[in-house]
Each structure stands twice: as structure tokens, then as C-alpha cells.
Amino acid sequence: MSNKELASKLKFYRKRKNLTQKDVANHLNITPQAYQRYESQTNTNEPSIDNLKKLSSLFNIKLIDLIDIEENESEKVSLEDAEVLMFSDKEGWDELSEERKKEIMKEISDLTDYYIEKDKRAKREK
């Protein structure tokens, strides 16, 4: 697994749990700067196996979820995971009804499809 993949996973799981980098650093008994380097995609420092175990426990996931990537298979992000990543820091999001949240996510999906198709058409016309 590349540092970039691990860094992305650490950031994803941390945000899903609504934790700050400082929260995670405290849990690991390391400095916030040391944890920031774990999430840095250009850094060569990786967590020790003990810290990976602590992280998997903190994030309530299996250790293999942090360190294993299936070959030739992109990671699957559920709608719920996408929602966490996109809206966890948006004030008022949690107060919306589940139905309204689904409507918004559908609109975003439709808009994304529109721009993908628009880009494909523009490339074909060139």
C-alpha cells in the first residue's frame, strides 16, 4: 500500500468519526504534528503496527481495512460515507430530515452526471 492510500484512508476514517487530527494524536500518544505527517500524502513516515492497531480500534474498523487494498479494485464509498465526507462540517446538515438529505444527494449526483456527459460531448466534438 502506498503512503498516499494510507493517508487517504486515515483522513477518511477520522472525518467519518468526526475527530480532529489532535484527537487522534492524543489517542495515539503522539504529537499532532506527527499525526499530520501520517495523513500527509507526500510523507514517508507511516504509523507503527501498534499505532495502526490503535487507529483501527479508534475508528471501529478492522486493521485490514486500513492496510489492505484489493488489486485492480477501486474502493467503494457508500452514499453514507460520501455524505460524511462532503457535509460533516456543514452547519445545519444534521438537522435536515433523512428524506431531504437524500434529495440533496440525488441532486448532486444528477448534476455530476450532467457535467460528466457535457465533458464527454466536448471531447467528442474536438
Is residue 122 pLDDT above 80, yes or no?
Answer: yes
pLDDT at 1: 54
Q: Taking the complete model, does pTM exceed 0.75, yes or no? A: no
pLDDT at 90: 76
Helix/strand/coil for 80: helix
Fold classified for 3-67: 434 Repressor (Amino-terminal Domain) (1.10.260)
Q: Express each pLDDT in 16-71 by its tens digit.
A: 999 999 999 999 999 999 899 888 867 667 788 889 999 999 999 988 888 765 44
Calpha distance 81→79 (Å, rounded): 5
Check the CA dihedral 67-71-109-123 and report its sign.
Answer: positive
Q: How far is CA 115 from CA 1, 109, 112, 121, 125, in A?
A: 32, 10, 5, 10, 15
pLDDT at 77: 54
